[in-house]
Chain A
Amino acid sequence: MNESMRSVTIARQIDRPSAKQFIDEMFEDFMEFHGDRMFGDDGAIVGGIASLNGMPVTVIGIQKGHTLEENVNCNFGQPNPEGYRKALRLMKQAEKFHRPVITLINTAGAFPGVGAEERGQGEAIARNLMEMSRLKTPVISIFIGEGGSGGALALAVGDQVWMLEHAVYSILSPEGFSSILWKDPTRVAEAAERMKMTAKDLLKNHVADRMFAEPEDGLEHHLPEVAGELKQALTEVLPELVDTDTEELLQKRYERFRQFGSFVE
């Protein structure tokens, strides 16, 4: 197994710490808020307010379960449109009170279902991309596991994008890539490598800004340490971002995503 496929496998492990576990380790006084005020509440998105060493923040995560029962409640971490709309509602609330937003991403992708299409999965993701790009408060997005395509990007238009060492982020799954582009479902590991989807790869092309190492014997045995490092990093970075002039903050965020492209004229 190559390094990329190893990360894919680790990122998907059922006992990998969930967004909720990271939230409980990283923040104090987390209060979860529910619902998108339009349709319902999506268990795949966990969000609310909390304190980071006394600084009020809004935290939003994509939640995966460790058991079948948990996974039924959070739809295996595959949000529906109401999940993305709940996230946007909480981000707009954060903007109003000028609280920084921290998103924790771990999803195979937005849910592909009939209801999701009826309620506008595409519109919900699109709206988040546009609104996050101009949200007048700092946003830091942290990939803690899988980062599947538009469903991950919908919470990742941040001022900074951080990744755990074995988190992955890609346009589609290596399984999808292998079967769609190569018509060969067996070349998954090769696809994983080709797609440059690991934190190390994504640091190189600036999709990610920062990587946090994971202990060799498994993140699940060291959650407090790794979450502590993330907390420390947030504590260092956020005060400066909060003090940055809003126009400058938004201009930098614009340029961060404006730079991507590989073309000649």
Chain B
Amino acid sequence: MNLFSKRKNYFSLDTPSEKKKTDRKKKEQGPSIPNGMWIKCNTCKMIIYKKEITEYKLCPSCGAHFRMTPAERIAITCDEGSFQEFDADMIPENPMEYPDYDKIIGKAQDKTKLREAVVTGRCKIEGNDAVIAIMDSHFMMGSMGSVVGEKITRAVERATEERLPIIIFTTSGGARMQEGIISLMQMAKVSEALGRHDAAGLLYVTVLTDPTTGGVTASFAMLGDIILSEPKALIGFAGQRVIQGTIHQKLPEGFQRAEFQLDHGFVDRIVHREELRGELGKILKLHQTGK
């Protein structure tokens, strides 16, 4: 599985072909920047030269945290070369016989070069062993179906068996609707596995990233012993359009953002992405058992 292939995960500004010609002319006069080198920040709307973006995937202008792929997350989180993937080949079947589900999955796989919406494995973070699961919002909005549920459950069970902490980076639109009730059952499945990990006295850290909503929020995202969040991440149970449709009022500024969740007592700490590895390392170190 090719975790480390490059992929565009922001808006790309394609230069119209007319302009391309002009660019070519300009080339003779001075330095030019090839196509696809610019992206637009969705938060501050600034046009950014791609090379200014570091491995942390932050907007150089406003500091917005762009959505990351599991490979990018591993690169900034795990000690180099320490990540060993679990269950890399698992793919979903079609429990509801949803029309063309295999094609929908295939398209997401081609787009992301991933098999499913979560990558799990074990690694070291600043020298501390941990099991980690990293969801990817680029794969069908990080929706949780059988594979996401099973891979995370197995990762949790493995952490329980090997007496390791587990860290889950969440990002999801919720349950995978195409898998129907079976996707709802994943919420119970992951939660019960976490219940056993918890009963074994082991540490579970959630890192909420943008966006974490629906069935993922209403299951493992909110069950961490310690819940961290990246700044401004959207975190909630119900979708904003659904809420608006129910109450017929404008939603308050910053509703369901990380800062809102912190204010209401559902997040322990908001951590800037550049500080995240250090903070996780510190937390893991403070929870080391005397084994």
Q: Is there an interface contact between A127 and B222, defined as CB atoms closer than 8 Å?
A: yes
Q: Is there an interface contact between B191 and A133, defined as CB atoms closer than 8 Å?
A: yes
Given A112-B246, A157-B192: A171 in contact with B218 (beta carbons within 8 A)? no
Binds A, one of B15-23, B60-68, B93-101: B93-101
Q: Which residues of A contact B266 (CB under 8 A)?
A: 120, 122-123
Q: Is there an interface contact between A117 and B236, defined as CB atoms closer than 8 Å?
A: yes
Q: Is A195's CB within 8 Å of the partner chain B?
A: yes
Q: How far is the CA of A258 from the CA of B195 in the complex (A)?
A: 13
Q: Is there an interface contact between B93 and A263, defined as CB atoms closer than 8 Å?
A: yes
Q: Is B255's CB within 8 Å of the partner chain A?
A: yes
Q: Is there an interface contact between B236 and A195, defined as CB atoms closer than 8 Å?
A: no
Q: How far is the CA of A133 from the CA of B197 in the complex (A)?
A: 13
Q: Is A94's CB within 8 Å of the partner chain B?
A: no
Contact residues, A102-134 vs B (CB, 8 A): 110-114, 116-123, 125-127, 129-131, 133-134
Q: Is A205's CB within 8 Å of the partner chain B?
A: yes
Q: Is there an interface contact between A119 and B194, defined as CB atoms closer than 8 Å?
A: no
Q: Is A197's CB within 8 Å of the partner chain B?
A: yes
Q: Is B90's CB within 8 Å of the partner chain A?
A: yes
Q: Is there an interface contact between A180 and B222, defined as CB atoms closer than 8 Å?
A: no
Q: Is B278's CB within 8 Å of the partner chain A?
A: no
Q: Is B13's CB within 8 Å of the partner chain A?
A: no
Q: State which size class the interface on A falls in.
A: 35 or more
Q: Is A149's CB within 8 Å of the partner chain B?
A: yes
Encode contact with B along A28-52: 1 for CB under 8 Å, 0 otherwise: 0000000000000000000000000
Contact residues, B137-153 vs A (CB, 8 A): 146-147, 149-150, 153
Given A113-B246, A125-B237, A126-B220: A150 in contact with B192 (beta carbons within 8 A)? no
Q: How far is the CA of A80 from the CA of B177 in the complex (A)?
A: 23
Encode contact with A along B155-178: 1 for CB under 8 Å, 0 otherwise: 000000000000000000001011
Q: Which residues of B contact A131 (CB under 8 A)?
A: 195
Q: Is B211's CB within 8 Å of the partner chain A?
A: no
Q: Is there an interface contact between B181 and A195, defined as CB atoms closer than 8 Å?
A: yes
| Closest residue of B by beta carbon distance from A180 | B177
- Cross-interface CB contact of B215 among A150, A180, A181, A197, cutoff 8 Å: A150
Q: Is A1's CB within 8 Å of the partner chain B?
A: no
Binds A, one of B26-34, B46-54, B74-82, B182-190: B182-190
Encode contact with B along A236-257: 1 for CB under 8 Å, 0 otherwise: 0000000000000000011001
- Cross-interface CB contact of B238 among A121, A169, A181, A263, cutoff 8 Å: A121
Label chain B's interface by main secondary structure. Answer: helix
Q: How far is the CA of A153 from the CA of B144 in the complex (A)?
A: 16
Given A171-B175, A257-B192: A122 in contact with B182 (beta carbons within 8 A)? no
Q: Which residues of B contact A265 (CB under 8 A)?
A: 87, 89-91
Given A129-B192, A150-B215, A254-B192: A114 in contact with B222 (beta carbons within 8 A)? no
Q: Which residues of A contact B92 (CB under 8 A)?
A: 262-263
Q: Is A90's CB within 8 Å of the partner chain B?
A: no
Encode contact with A along B225-263: 1 for CB under 8 Å, 0 otherwise: 000000000001111001100110101100110001000
In angstroms, how far is the closest chain A Cβ from the Cβ of B181?
5
In angstroms, how far is the closest chain B Cβ from the Cβ of A78?
9
Q: How far is the CA of A206 from the CA of B178 in the complex (A)?
A: 18
Q: Which residues of B contact A122 (CB under 8 A)?
A: 217-218, 221-222, 236-237, 266
Given A195-B96, A205-B95, A261-B186: A114 in contact with B243 (beta carbons within 8 A)? yes
Q: Is there an interface contact between B180 and A171, defined as CB atoms closer than 8 Å?
A: yes
Q: Is A189's CB within 8 Å of the partner chain B?
A: no
Q: Which residues of B contact A125 (CB under 8 A)?
A: 218-219, 237
Q: Is A19's CB within 8 Å of the partner chain B?
A: no
Q: Is there an interface contact between B264 and A120, defined as CB atoms closer than 8 Å?
A: yes
- Cross-interface CB contact of A110 among B184, B187, B237, B247, cutoff 8 Å: B237
Q: Is there an interface contact between B246 and A117, defined as CB atoms closer than 8 Å?
A: no
Q: Is there an interface contact between B96 and A263, defined as CB atoms closer than 8 Å?
A: no
Q: Which residues of A contact B255 (CB under 8 A)?
A: 114, 117
Q: Which residues of A contact B260 (CB under 8 A)?
A: 118
In angstroms, how far is the closest chain A Cβ from the Cβ of B103?
14
Q: Which residues of B contact A157 (CB under 8 A)?
A: 188, 191-192
Q: Is B199's CB within 8 Å of the partner chain A?
A: yes
Contact residues, A149-171 vs B (CB, 8 A): 149-150, 153-154, 157, 169-171
In angstroms, how far is the closest chain A Cβ from the Cβ of B8?
25
A interface residues with partner B (beta carbon < 8 Å): 110-114, 116-123, 125-127, 129-131, 133-134, 149-150, 153-154, 157, 169-172, 177, 180-181, 194-197, 202, 205, 207, 253-254, 257-258, 260-265
Q: 27 A-B pairs, CB-CB below 8 angstroms? A: A111-B246, A112-B246, A113-B247, A114-B251, A114-B252, A117-B243, A118-B264, A119-B264, A120-B222, A122-B236, A125-B219, A126-B218, A129-B188, A133-B191, A134-B199, A150-B184, A157-B192, A171-B184, A196-B180, A197-B180, A205-B182, A258-B153, A260-B146, A261-B146, A262-B146, A263-B93, A265-B91
Beyond the given A110-B238, A180-B177, please list 5 additional residue pairs across the A-B interface where CB-CB is below 8 A. A114-B251, A123-B266, A126-B222, A171-B175, A207-B181
